[in-house]
Amino acid sequence: MAKSSAAERALRFVGLGIARLIYRVTTVGVEGLPPGGFLLLPNHITWVDAIVLLLASPRPIRFIIDAGVYRNRFLHPVLRAVGCIPITSRKAKDAMREAAAKIRAGEIVCLFPEGELSRIGSLLRLRRGYEIIARQAEAPVVPVWLDRLWGSIFSFKGGRFFSKWPSAVPYRVMVAFGEPLPAEAADIATVRERLLKLGEFCYNERPVLRDHLARACLRGLKGNRFRSVLTDGIDHTSLSHGKLLGCAIALSRYLTRTCPERRIGIVLPPSKGAVIANLAVAFAGKIPVNLNFTSARDSIESAKEQAGLSTIISARLLAKRLDDFPWTPQVIHLDETLPRMKRTIVGWWLLGLALPSALLARLLHLPHTGGHSEAILLFTSGSSGKPKGVVLSHRNILANVSQFAVMLDAKKDDLILASLPFFHSFGCTVTLWYPLIEGVRSVSYPNPLEAGKIANIVERYAVTVMLATPTFLRAYLRKSEPHQLRSLRLLITGAEKLPDELAQSFEARFGTRVLQGYGLTETSPVVSVNLPEPKAAAAGAPVQPSNRLGSVGKLLPGMAAEIRDPETDQKGSLHDTGMLWLRGPNIFEGYLDAPELTAQVLCDGWFKTGDIGRFDEDGFLYIEGRLSRFSKIGGEMVPHETIEQKILSVLQTADHSDRVIAIVGAADEAKGEALVLLSSIDIDLSQIRTALSEIGVPNLWIPKAVRRVEAIPVLASGKLDLAGCKKIAQES
């Protein structure tokens, strides 16, 4: 093993001594580092990543750095003294040979495989040069993850380096060294997978995940108590942080006295009342259960019975419109209850203004930690049968809020439209808990289908962030004008696949790019999201990609993924197509009172999503379809959504206002399954078969029958009603 020079040792002693005053580094996995030379591959977040690695490593590290930085007149003497290896695109092989020689001599050599600092906070494409070095050196590769550095003054969070105040001094960082990989096994897909797993491990150790949901909301509201936090899009009244806090605490004390049960149902559309109700239930130490009041009565009955509800919070005006709703014995109508609490609300409002958050939390008897205990209960949409109760813990919600906050990087003047129902997981986390915890303003509207009125609200209040489903976007195409949505900087869709034609039509009309995200109720819900491209550092300079058409974006920080065979569970490469398995702090705790169902989808901390997907080399996730939307015909997996896109292209329909077709699998004696095309428009099967054959669609993929329907069955969330479609197809 090579010895370092006296100058190098002196520089390291002085430099690292100063660095230790600024950073507190927690290190994991040091004991597994190889005793000889190896190649170290970290993620690259800040300008000081090398210093952090030196603080974490028990041995000196020799860094491969860009020759332009190496020749900087201020840095060159130091970089040369510590033995850095300069590299250029023209003479890359020389640097690689030198690095391999140092590794063979027993040294640790570090190369940042992304080749540049991340300006979007997520892992970039890995360059293949490290593979050559590892193979020349015949040495192992060790992935390493640097966590919590995004947001430091040396990162690009907020769109700038250096010009921001440090959030803490000393700054706490975690460094996790992975298991060594043989050089021949360290391909880019495997290294990316290992890095993501290390990132997931580190994220699970973050202190924020041990918090309690109610305490986090309390701190968020106390952060700027006079600022307007929530505007009601119906009556255009606003609540400040302080007033919202006063209302929620007053109602929570009432619930504590009158509702001994553990869970409380909430039947309200997105509104001030719904936010107050959810916050009050959390402050009362109970679990809010937002019920889907647009579902069929038997689905609501099932959810109510599974949750064991005996009290529901609603409003008298809404209750009058829900004629057939299965109400609980006790119903608290906010529009009658809150006015009677006016004095109590004012008292808590004043106390909220006067007391620090820690003392107020103590007065409310809020637990210090929430952890894995149940925080909220949501029910799946029931698109494929009976709704399942999804238990989400404090850890799950706080993790997903913090993950989404990193990706969104909200500005001070951002305003979120809260129109997705709170019984919808996307609406619950992103438009209810996220604004409360992060202090982001929101404006609510109770019905996401009233596109014309929502467009007026977007224009009136200059909404900047809007969440929707493809079904709701179709309504905007029909009922809103281009100028009404010009304030939007971010429009994200989820819940169902975004058709390319719909995205292109929307952008052509409104000049706003639709960014697709992906999530499930079981993942709290956000898993990945596309984001607007960052501005180029200079004219003509390359931009790090943050969105890609057809993909659902990059994984949120703290999430790891595997691709597995849907039948054998055998693990493949991230670049293969197969069942998507996910792991992260936002993965749910299990289905309510259903251990067998839980065991089917949770395996050693991994969640089997039921979706077929793959990753590209930049880390963008592509969802090919839900496993339930595949048919196995003649031993081949046939994707329903892909066939639907092919049929729509053949039909050349320009109307994206409604879903007009759906492919469904039905039992077939000869092939096991046969494809049935449900259509709300007239279709000639023979013409469709001919047209699909001409564009190269395999015969197995061509529908065997067409069933004309009045409308394609969809749920209130906009998702396809798979159970309803299957019933129609089977009857045909």
Per-residue model confidence as pLDDT tens digits over 128-187? 888 988 999 899 999 999 998 887 777 777 666 766 666 667 778 899 999 999 999 999
Give the domain range for residue 714: 634-731
Helix (H, G, I), strand (E, B) or coil at 676: strand
User: Quick one: tokens of 545?
Assistant: 């990609």
C-alpha separations of 372 from 189, 211, 307, 376, 397 in Å: 32, 10, 18, 11, 10
Beta carbons within 8 Å of 518's beta carbon, 6+ residues apart = 494, 526, 527, 528, 529, 552, 553, 621, 623
Tens-digit pLDDT profile for residues 196-222: 999 999 999 999 999 999 999 999 988
Domain final position from 205, 233, 264: 205
CATH number at 700 reads 3.30.300.30
pLDDT at 707: 86
Asked if residue 151 belongs to a domain, the reply is: yes
Single-letter amino acid, residue 707:
R
Name the burial class of residue 17, with classes exposed (0-12), middle (13-18) and buried (19+) by CB atoms within 10 angstroms of its CB.
exposed
Amino acid at 20: R
CATH number of the domain enclosing 86: 3.40.1130.10
Write the DSSP assignment of 339-397 as a string of letters. Answer: GGGHHHHHHHHHHHHHS-HHHHHHHTT--S--TTSEEEEEE---TTSS--EEEEEHHHH
Q: Which of 205, 231, 262 is the last residue of a domain?
A: 205
DSSP structure string for 577-610: -EEEEEESTTS--EETT-HHHHHHHEETTEEEEE
User: Quick one: residue 106, left, alpha or beta (phi over 0 = left, psi -120 to 50 = alpha)?
Assistant: left
Domain boundary pick from 153, 170, 205: 205
pLDDT in tens, 647-672: 888 787 655 556 788 888 877 766 66
pLDDT band at residue 533 using 50, 70 and 90 as cut-offs: confident
Domain count, the chain: 2
pLDDT at 332: 94
SS3 136: helix
pLDDT band at 8 (very low <50, low <70, confident <90, very high): low
Confidence of residue 553 (pLDDT cuts 50, 70, 90): very high
Helix (H) or strand (E) holding 317: helix 316-321
Give dist(CA 246, CA 258) in Å, integer: 19
The reply to whether 715 falls in a domain is yes
| 130 part of a folded domain | yes
Q: Is residue 160 part of a domain?
A: yes
**Residues making up the chain, counted from first to last:** 732
pLDDT, position 196: 96
417: left (phi over 0), alpha (psi -120 to 50) or beta: beta
Q: What is the dihedral of CA 173, 177, 178, 179, to 10 degrees?
A: -160
**How many CB atoms within 10 Å of residue 185?**
11
More confidently predicted of 691 and 580? 580
Residue with tokens 């020759």: 67
> Has residue 465 been placed in a domain?
no
CA-nearest of 227, 55, 230 to 144 is: 55
Residue 305 is assigned to a structural domain of this protein: no
Q: What are the distances in angstroms from CA 337 to CA 252, 266, 344? A: 12, 14, 12
Q: What average pLDDT does the structure give for the chain?
A: 86
* Pick from 399, 30, 429: nearest CA to 203: 399
Among candidate residues 51, 54, 61, 49, the one with its CA nearest the CA of residue 146: 49
* Cα dihedral 132, 136, 137, 143 in deg (nearest 10): 20
pLDDT > 70 in the chain, percent? 90
Cα angle, residue 521 at apex, residues 518 and 523 outer, rounded to 5°: 70
Amino acid identity for residue 483 in this structure: H
Residue 396 pLDDT exceeds 90? yes
Is 362 contained in some domain? no
